Every structure is written in structure tokens, then in C-alpha cells.
Structure 1
């Protein structure tokens, strides 16, 4: 089996490699190709990846290259984990929205929109190379944020693609620990859009084989509800009234002003990640390092390797099991178009990944999901076709913006901060100047 990772020079790649080494029986890899344009990261990350495979006694071979065609040729599957503009662009995404009194975040709000504009054209370019050079039935597994928009871009262009996020698997691991069972014994009623989701049921299978929904126990008034509210950094009343566990990212909507105030007085997440990456790259340069460093835990993306291996082994092994993934709606949410991408449990086979039916969403969830979905559709139009007017329309459609004057200012800030990554913006600016 040949697996390619586009963006393989990420400092997080050793987490993925660690999973491949530990779970080799589940996902037997003969060739792992790490593709990245950065020569320093290629050398350091590729070096530690090779040492990790050797140390674990993994029979597979690790290849490192900047040649996308070589990396994806005859691949059985290709993973996308790109960050166009690197952490420097993320730092901008997390700061310039503050000038218009909006949160700065890399996947949500104006910053997430900027990331989509930078990312979608590059992903589509690489995906065409996968179509031309990988095996005819190869799948693309996208972990590149914003996952919902990027995955829909891939599907709309006719690629065999699925989006992957670690929020659901993180909740699964947490609840498994809470009830002292294996993660495989926990099944979630996970619904929404990427980074806009709720757990509406937590089904735990016990040693006797019986299964029960433990959501009521997790949200019982008192200490249980307090612990759950603290873990997702949201108000107890919100969780009690919705009777669901919201993902952490919903805090940007339900407590926007509080989050903005915190952001104005704290270092950005990008700054913390950049410091962690410097430490990690120094570790990777040490040839005595043959396992993933403990510092990697600070990098984020917990359980990424397990989630990636689960979906890859399900696809390539044609297992037909159920996982939470980003897939076409196809009637699952009747209030959204069929071609929109949602995040729900889905049945995974080699030929298709199909969302399972879900119970109707509560009206407040329907409203927020519909609003964000409308923005996402406009954002993808802007990312594919460019143009300031398309950016402006998508910007004011976002529920965290909503006002035309604010959208105008945010649009100008976005284009100024991202001009080097948006060729159409540079040409439009030249026309204005001329």
C-alpha cells in the first residue's frame, strides 16, 4: 500500500507516523511519501519519520520529496494537511479581525474565511494531480481547515474525497475514559457542520453487551453539568436547555464578545504553536530521537493519527463500519441542499461514504447551521472564482459579521493581509491603482 501526505513537512506529521507504526496491522503501509515544498522541514520531519519506522520495526519505507507527482503516483490514498502561508498567515487570521471587533480564529469567522480563500485553489490544484497520477480508485482524505468548505470544493470538482476532524474522536475518547470502557464501546450522535457540532447522544456498550445512552448522566444538574460546561468553556444553561454537548468551537458564536475580550489580552494560539514548532524542529534534528517527542502533545490535533488510520483502514479495507466524517448532505438535513457538506456518522466502504439518518435538529440548531451553511456556500464561490464583491457578500453573510459596514472593513483587512496568496486580488488592486 502506498500512502501520500501532502503537507508532510508539518511538525505534526510524527504524530501520524507514530500511529502508522503502532497500528501497522490495521493499516499495512509499504510506502509512505511525505510531500512538502519546505526543504528544512522535509529534511527534519522526514528524518525523524524514517527513524521512527526503523525503531518500531516497521517494514515500510518513508520517502520525502517536494515533487507532488512523484508523491501521489500510484498512491492508494492521499492525505491533505496543508497550511498555505504557514503559521505567519495564521497569526494574521487571529489578529486583523480584531480591528473590526470580531474574533480572530483560523477556521471560524473572518480568519477562517481568509484561510479558505488561500487554501481552496491550492487544494484543487493538487487534487487534479491526484486524479491524474494516483490509482483510479484512490481517495483523498482532507484534514485541511476549514474542512467543510475544502471538502465541498473537492466533491464539487468530482474528486473521491472525505473530510476528517478530530472533535468527535476527542469526545469519544473522553467519554470512554469517563465510563471506563474502550473507545470502540462509545458511539456518538454527532451532528452539525465542521467545527459547528453537538453531541446529542452518547451510547456506551458495557461488558455485558448492553448499550445505554449516558447523556442524561453527563448533563445531570450539579457537578456533572458543571464539569461538562467547564470542559467546553460554555454556560451551564446553554447545555441544559439544548440537552446536548456543544463542540468547543460553538463558543465563538455563543460567547463571541467574551472570547474577543480574552483574545485582546492574551497571546494568540499561533504564537504558542510557533514556539512549540521551534522546539519540535530542534528535537527532530536530534538523530537520537526515534519516537514522537512529548512536546508534540502541545501542538494540538489530539487523536489525529487514530482518526486518520480509522478512516483510511475502513476505506481501503472496505469495512463498512461507521465513523463521524464530513460528507455530502444528500437529504440528511432536509433544510440544506444535497451537495452541502455536513459532519455526521457515516457508513464507510471502498466505493462510497454514506451519511446515516439523524433525528431532526432543534430549531435553534437549524437556524445556526443554516446561517453558517449559507456563508460557507458564498465563501466557496469566492475561493473558486475570486473577486472583491464575492468576498464582501460572503463576509456579511457570516453570522459573526452581519453588518455591511463591518463587512466592508473586514473585506479590506482580509485582502490587504492576504494579497500575496490571492493573485486575483493583486490584479484587481492593480486595476484600481491604474
Structure 2
């Protein structure tokens, strides 16, 4: 559970928000919250308030009351696309129709008075590697005498299975992980806390509708199965990861913590932000081919900001991601692997073409050789204990508005003292 949200100002009246407020009625992201001393329940953010969705549904005699009066989003996720659209339509009416105003007001809570929780029960977690710029940067760092991208990279979305049990909500402290590490000059591996702790700026996709084992989800099935997106920081211990990765890939260097935002933005709130993916430079196999003239754009124009100890250090653009959420989902299931309600898959680190658009410290500092110089004179190659990292984002909304995606934040705390 994350601590209660804090605010330095009095919450705005949710019915008198400034025009274009990023959490206006055009957005309505879902989360799970609890007022002081009460149990968690599904909420919807409106301005600087959170609406008790189940309570207002019951008060207005809505048939969705039992679906929303739950301690997490999983029942709503499992209900499917028709229900998602119907509930969103109902919520929009509840917060915009003047006749409902006083009923709704009775079930609004100031955001800074509640605790926010992990919004859904995570079933499985898969992390992809979908940014060509990020993959190329790491290739140049670690394989300077080879082509930056491996031969398979432009033929399929590369990914690995992570650990669902260590996905935590924004605001949860991140304990520095310990494990084996070995520098090239070391005669043997040593054990201890990671000294190259990093971030990975990502977007997470939250699966609602499951699929049967032995079947696959085509590109066109993306919006039938994916409920919404969230911000995601897949913390990475680069030194542990580097020693363990060959030959099977990430394990302890990635499994200790993955932070997600407290708010899940439904796909229906992001229609104005949809963009085409970058031009493909290698022909794709049919199950991944999104080049048809009538194919729906599955990319998103998300504007992301990365802050370290309150200072902006990068602004990675999501619109340039080579692989889309639809392609990642199609690839994840093409072998017949089933989807479960609550599955989460991440985009992998988001990086742009410019130095101020890189989504990880290993890229920003070029593996620690070019430390970040913060405004207070402090330098950072990788994360130190006490550092606080915050990812925030918005997307273009209808009529020139902005859709806020909230934020995901985490503070690094020291590794436990070894016994």
C-alpha cells in the first residue's frame, strides 16, 4: 500500500475544474483507494478528488454497482470491452449531468486524504524491449564492434517473463537489491548490494479479457483484451543483471521490484493520442504486419517526464516506439499462451533519438562514464540510497485537452544488513 497522496494546495472543486484539466471528465482513470480506517475500493479520479465508484453506482441504482464495489479492478477487467464502455459512459454521465451533482459529491474524497493501492491483482508479467533507440544504445555500449541490434530484433518484439509478485504501486519504497556481481577485472564474483541500480521508463499494458490456452490474439483483438495503460518503472540492477544474463537473460537483476502508477487510464480515454507506428524497415510476418491501409493506429503519443530528486533529467517520447502494444500482445500469444485477467506487459525502456530523451541512467550516463550533473552540484552515474525517481506523463486529449497519466514514484532505501 502506498502512503496517502499529498498535496500542497486545497483540492479544486471537481465540478469547477479549469478548462482542459488533465483529470477532467474526458479522462476518468481507475484506481483503488481507501479512506482512513476503511477498506480498499474502486475509485475514479476527477480533478484532485477520487470518486467512490461503487458507492455512487449503488446510490444511483446502477446495475454496475456490484461490479464496482470491489477491492480491486479485476472484476471490471474480466467483464470485457462492452462492460468497459458501458461503465465509462455511465461514469461520464454521473460526473457531468447536473442532476447527479449532489449525489456524486457525497462520494468524493480529496485525493490527499486517502491511501492509494495497487489497482489490480497482477496475474503474469512480461517485459518487452520495444524501443529501437534504447536497444541500439545498449548494443553500442556492450557490443561496440558489432551491429547494435541483434538479427531477430526487427522481426519480433523481444521480451522476457518477469515476476508478478514484486509489482508494487507508486509510492512504495524500493529496497536496494543484493546479489552476485563480477566486473571484467574481478578474479571471481562477489556478493553484495547492487552498485549500479537503474531505472527503466516504461508504459504498462493491463489485460482484462482472458484468452484460452492454445489460441492466439490477432492484432485486431488488442482493444478487446487490453483494458488500459499505466506508467511503469522496471527497476534494474545492471551489475547483477550483467553477470547473470548470459546465457538465459535477466533474473535477479530485474525481479526485485517493478513500480506502476496508481491510476489505469482506459484505452477509450486515449483515442485522440493514437498514432501510427514508425516505418518498418524489415518485412514482418503476417501475424505482426500492421501495414494494411485499414489497420488502426496502435501507437500512442505520450509525453513522459523523468525526474530525479525533483529535477527533470529526461523526456522520452513514446510515439517513436518501434513495436506497438498490439504487436506485443499478438507475439505474446502466438504460440498459444493464454491471457489471464490482470496480466501486465511492459513496453521496455522508452528512449528517443536525443540525449535528453533517454529512459534509463545507463544510457543517460553512458554506463556511468558521463555522470549526470544535477543543479545542486551532485553527480549521479547510478542511483544512490535516498534518491527519489518520478515518472509522469500526459497525452493529447479531445478538443486540445490533455489526458493525465498520473505518476509513478519510488525512493531507494538501503539493502538490509546481511546476517
TM-score, normalised relative to structure 2: 0.28
Q: Flag the structure with higher strand content.
A: 2
- The structure carrying a bigger helix percent of its residues is 1
The two structures have a TM-score, normalised by structure 1, of 0.27
